[in-house]
Amino acid sequence: MRLVFACFYGILFASLIGTTQTSADPDLGPQVTEIRIWEHPSYTRLVLELTAEVKPRILLISNPYRIVLDLPRTEFLVSMAQQEQVGVVKSFRFGLFKPEVSRLVIDLARPAVVARNFILMPSDQKPYRLVLDFRPVSNEEFTVAAVKTRVTEPSTDKGIENSPLHHEENVNEKFTIVVDAGHGGVDPGAIGRNGFYEKTVALAAAKELKKALEKFGSYRVVLTRDTDIYLPLKQRVAIARQVAGDLFVSIHADSIKNQDIRGGHVYTLSEKASDKAAQALAEKENQSDVIAGFDLEEHPADVSSILVSLAQRETNNSSAKAANSIVDEWKTRGLTLLRKPHRQAGFAVLKAPDIPSVLVELGFLSNKEEAYMLSNASTRLPLIEALAQSLHNYIQTAETPQK
């Protein structure tokens, strides 16, 4: 019998990132303090230790095979780093899926269903425990079971009314910059050295960029998300279009096998990737909705498309100018860049046909030095200031937007 577990270790990590993480507090709602997984001969058991009783909604989703648990808003005081396969459980991730719904997504190594699901009440100094037993099944059995778990509910893809931020149409003449913090909630993005999450670095950097841009006094800056919540890719673009954005900037941090590679880089949209590395990254980023347990079969086909249609020629040209401005400013300031810092690929989040869009990779969380640099507000500052100045430079030379 094999056993793995995840436990709370977050005070130091949270202080490095610049966010707040606390110990179990019943006033904050249910909290998961430990996750354990066992492999038995006929099933795999997953146990969540909790500070309160919860009743999950369970979904089965295929392509790829996943078991999804939707819980009332719950804090996870555990780590997603350093996972290994146990039984049918290949990996798991968790986070805020909607404002009042937390999600645990369990990736399966093969089709499996929830054979048993029950809660154990506190006893003998043990907390509440949610117990789930996963039994391997055939593809056909999984499909039948998945249909039974599917319940009609409002789609997160029908507009942006469920977004954590809901904005009115732009009513002033200020140039509007939409800053998108990549990933979020149940989608952690890259998990780098020392367990740093891309979603956390991206959110902190996006907030800092907003402040830096607002210091110029002539821009309206809108964040697609201002908290650790999941947003579908299509919804991020919808937010930018609803607020009449003039420029869309998506913030990320990369991760790669070669831990020696480091440096910032920028992507713009192209149907044909500039190189294999750009194509691989676009494919990974475009799987964000799958990672978050988003059932693509319930939504239009274009949501799951890896390559998106080419934007209008004028928008593509403007995007390229914005990307080149970023690269030029980073070079001028002596910041570390990849050998080829401006690349192209089919990122779904850059698909707005009428808004110049760039995706900025601040560096590599897989590199020890950059992981530390990106996870501290003080050492991120030179990157943020350079990025803000480069966007200002681009806007000053761009044609006045048509409102």
CATH number of the domain residue 39 falls in: 2.60.40.3500
Give the residue-averaged pLDDT of 41-69: 95
Strands of 275-351 (E only): list them.
337-345
User: What DSSP state is assigned to residue 21?
Assistant: -
Q: Are 211 and 143 a contacting pair, CB within 8 Å? A: no
pLDDT over threshold 80, residue 320: yes
Q: Are 76 and 102 a contacting pair, CB within 8 Å? A: yes
**Nearest alpha-carbon partner for 116 in 132, 137, 98:** 132
**Residues 190, 128 within the same domain:** no
In a domain, 243, yes or no: yes
pLDDT level of residue 21 (50, 70, 90 thresholds): very low
Q: How many domains does the chain have?
A: 2
Strands of 121-195 (E only): list them.
128-136, 175-181
**Residues 384, 270 within the same domain:** yes
* 201-247 per-position pLDDT tens digit: 999 999 999 999 999 999 999 999 999 999 999 999 999 999 999 99
In a domain, 52, yes or no: yes
Report pLDDT for 151.
60
Summary mean pLDDT of the chain: 85
**Residues 17, 51 within the same domain:** yes
Report pLDDT for 312.
52
**Residues 117, 259 within the same domain:** no
* 165-212 per-position pLDDT tens digit: 444 444 457 899 999 999 999 999 999 877 889 999 999 999 999 999
pLDDT level of residue 82 (50, 70, 90 thresholds): confident
Q: Are 4 and 48 a contacting pair, CB within 8 Å? A: no
pLDDT over threshold 90, residue 30: yes
Which residues span the domain enclosing 78? Answer: 3-149
* 61-73 per-position pLDDT tens digit: 998 999 999 999 9
Query: Which of 131, 149, 167 is a domain's end point?
Result: 149
* Residue 252 belongs to domain with CATH number: 3.40.630.40
Report pLDDT for 284.
84
Query: Which of 81, 115, 149 is a domain's end point?
Result: 149
**Token pair recorded at residue 39:** 């492999």
